[in-house]
Structure 1
Amino acid sequence: MQFNKDSLYANPLGEITTFKFDDAVVNVFPDMIQRSVPGYSAIISAIGLLAGRFSQSHSQCYDLGCSLGAATLAMRDQITAADCRIVAVDNSAAMVERFKRNLAVDEAKASIDIQCADIREISIERASVVVLNFTLQFVPVADRARLLEKIYRGMLPGGILILSEKLAFDNERQQALQVDMHHHFKKMQGYSELEISQKRSALENVLLAESFDVHRRRLMAAGFDSAEIWFQYFNFASMIALK
């Protein structure tokens, strides 16, 4: 499948506006995410496998911050539990509209409910699988604990939360190394120094990364039985929290 190439930050911008998941981003998002997040395809594939393992009959699986539905469709392709409904939620109207349009021509119909809403405001009910795939980092820090507590309360025993995030590191040398290697990764994907710099400025104060220790403490405080990293590529990681 061919996607539009991400060149949103290829030319000098007189004023760098705050990053938003608008129509311009939607048009290049598949290319942007693949070239910006190390290991993204592996994470998506594993989300499908984990959903197949943990989905329960007569339950719901949530993709919170679904964007164009990559994780949703990976779950759909692996879930075999009877009467298992997928709820995909995003607060970007542009993302939701494009996802619905793409799903409308998808031959493999499934029980997928796509909603345009703030994930902090929706109800989580009878959840066996919940996915926050590079979503929590865009939620205000003050609201993160309350969101995870709500998710935990709405999950069935034996449920799983898959949380993928860009990480920060307490050690200055580690932080500098991980950021530098991520930038090197992006250069290897064809991004220029200008693109990297301008996008970084656009994401400042929008994407707020935290350390794994902070994530783990918050997950355990919410009630989860355990929380561990299952995948990490430089400063991008995916965690599993079990109820």
Structure 2
Amino acid sequence: MKQRPDRLFAEPMAKVPDFVFNEDVARVFPDMIKRSVPGYPAIVENTGVLAGQFARPDSALYDLGCSLGAVTQALRRHVRADRCRVIAVDNSPAMVERCREYLHAQDAMFQELLPAEVVEADILGLDFQPSSLVTLNFTLQFIALDQRPVLLRRIRQALLPGGALILSEKLRFDDPTEQALLTELHLAFKRANGYSELEIAQKRSAIENVMKPDTLAVHRQRLLSAGFSQVVPWFQCLNFASLIALP
């Protein structure tokens, strides 16, 4: 499937609108995420590898905030537990439509993949099935702060013994020097991937009101308060990280 380059913020805007996962974003999302999130391909592929260690037979595997289904595809490639199924959920109609197209293309390329269902829904209103693996891949940061503990408690209640939540997020840092350093290094990453200063500035304006990162300490305490017994960071690249939370 042909991918388009991300040029959404390349031209000056009189007023930069808040970022939304609409059709324009869906068309360029693979290029956008790869050029904006350090370590993203490694997180996605290794989420599939990790899932293979936690998935249990006869259970659901959730990809919450699935966007175009990159994590879903990784789960299908790596998980071998019997009678598992992937449930990919997103509230963006444009993302859901294209996710289904990507999964159809994956079906044509591989045999014996896990069955996958793509659901257009708000993850805050999901009726979770018994699950052994749940992924929140750069999704929680877009959820309202007061709803984050509620969602995590519901995920914890749905997880079977031996299962896991894999949570990937952009981090903020309490130490101003650390925050400034990692912010500048992230900007250098974007410049190295071809984004102009205008694109960087306008994207920042678009997303700052809709994406609210937390510190690693806040993530850890929130997960423990939601009933998880252990929180293990397994990946960090600059100010982006991924955690495993065990029930």
**Band the TM-score falls in, shorter-chain normalisation:** over 0.9
The alpha carbon displacement at 1:2 in A equals 4.3
Structure 2 residue 159 is the aligned partner of structure 1 residue 155: yes
Cα shift at 1:15: 1.1
- Counterpart residue identity of residue 24, structure 2: A
Aligned ranges 1:162-241 → 2 under 5 Å: 162-241=166-245
Contact persistence 1:124–1:155 (CA under 8 A): no
* Structure 1 segment 23-172 matched on structure 2, within 5 A: 23-105=23-105, 106-107=107-108, 108=110, 110-172=114-176
Q: Name the SS for the 2:124 alignment partner.
A: coil
How far apart, in 1, do the equivalents of 2:128 and 2:164 lie? Answer: 13
Identity %: 51
Deviations 1:36-60 (A, max 9, x none): 0000000011111011111100011
Q: Deviations over 1:146-202 (max 9, x none)?
A: 000000000101111000000010011111111111001000000011100000000
Gaps of 5+ in 1: none
Q: TM-score, normalised by structure 1?
A: 0.98
- Structure 1 stretch displaced more, 60-69 or 120-129: 120-129
How many angstroms apart in 1 are the aligned matches of 2:102 and 2:190? 28
Helix, strand or coil: the match of 1:15? coil
Q: Specify the code of the residue in structure 2 equivalent to 1:64.
A: L
1:10 corresponds in structure 2 to: 10
Structure 1 vs Structure 2 CA RMSD: 1.0
CA distance in 1, matches of 2:36, 2:80: 32
For residue 241 of structure 1, give the secondary structure of its aligned residue in structure 2: strand
Is the Cα–Cα contact under 8 Å of residues 56 and 81 in structure 2 kept in the other structure?
A: yes
Tell me the amino acid that sits aligned with residue 205 of structure 2. S
Aligned to 1:183, what secondary structure does the other structure show?
A: helix
Unpaired runs of 5+ in structure 2? Answer: none
Cα distance in 1 for partners of 2:103, 2:224 equals 36
Residue 101 of structure 1 and its aligned partner are, at CA, apart by 2.1
Amino acid at match of 1:234: L
Shift, 1:104, TM fit: 2.6
